[in-house]
Amino acid sequence: MRRLSGRVRPYAWGSRTVLARLQGRPVPSEGPEAELWLGAHPGAPATVDGASLADLIAAEPERLLGGEVAGRFGPRLPYLLKVLAAAAPLSLQAHPDAERARERFAAGHPSYVDAYHKPEMLVAVSQFEALCGFRDPAASAAALSTLDLPALGPVLSALGRGDLRAAVAGLVALPAAVVTEAAAAPDAPALVRRLAAAYPGDPGVLVALLLNQLTLAPGEAIWMPAGNLHAYLEGAGVEIMAASDNVLRGGLTPKHVDVAELLQVLRFEVLADPVVRAEPVAPGIVTWPAPVAEFALHRVRPADAGGALTLPVRGPRTVLCLAGDLAVDDGAGAVELAGGEAAFAADGQATLAFEGAGEAYVASVPT
């Protein structure tokens, strides 16, 4: 095991308390801190003894990743582990599938920063509010009807016939004045008022009413495959994804918005139950199943297994200690971790041994 130092991304919607408290730094932080990246993505690679993890893997892919993982994914870590801390709503977005990412990146499309897809899962570590996946069009129509705006007539007609594509296209094309009028309506839903306060006049304020509004309890997760429209509202979570930064935004952000491309990648289907619940693996170990080749995520609590446990995962592994203290050994040497600290294990022995009273999240590649 080798200690891993992550990179904090200071996006405007970030918390000034969550990551600072996690890492034992002064609270509040000087500015917003939105994400802690613990991977090898070139946008913000973590470091091992001051050296970029991305560079180390590129130099010795078979030793660090193992022959199987390097053969499947090339000389790159296929997953990215993050801690996300949202203090304000962030962008309405979706991610492309693998084929479209390759094609669009190769063609130089400005909304694509790499050639990879970005399926992702977020596990709440505090109460976490999010929008995830389309809900029943009838429920969306009922919410929009409370605004009593003639401009929404075509959208309501589209929802009445179950045409989510037309409904989204109609809403994103609305002028800012209509969104402002909607937010000021006497019976405007609380979500509309909340989002309009952060993003006045943004059509995404009304698109949000088409989505499932969730409040996750700690330990609950949401799975976001390609084409799933979603937005985070507030809370902290551990996020695991394929190592990509391809994000197609449709609103609720000062960043680049590409509605035309977003409409091409969205899956216009109802997501009845967006919540993924933890499944026990062994005493002290749970996982959240996701149908993806790039990553698996486990949570370990050695105290629940008498103070020590062994997790059977091989290949490149990233361990984040979220709370308490624990020791983790990959067979090549143990590392002691406190809350907010992380470590990286290269391919080798097919288990990780944990001791202590802490809680850790372990990212790996399914085998």
Tell whether residue 93 is among the known ligand binding residues.
yes
The token pair at 247 is 């994000």
**Residue 117 assigned as binding residue:** no
Which residue's entry shows tokens 């097919």?
350
The C-alpha atoms of residue 246 and residue 351 are separated, in whole angstroms, by 32
Judge contact between 134 and 268, C-beta under 8 A. yes
Residues 104, 135, 249, 299: which is the catalytic one?
A: 249
264 is in an annotated binding site: no
> Is 230 flagged in the annotation as binding?
yes
CA–CA separation, 312 vs 352, rounded Å? Answer: 7
Q: What's the rounded Cα separation, in Å, for the pair 313 and 45?
A: 23
7 a catalytic residue: no
Token pair 């000034």 in the structure block, residue: 16
- Residue indicated by tokens 């034992």: 24
Residue numbers in the known binding site are 93, 95, 120, 230
Residue numbers in the known binding site for Zn(2+) are 93, 95, 120, 230
Active site residues: 249
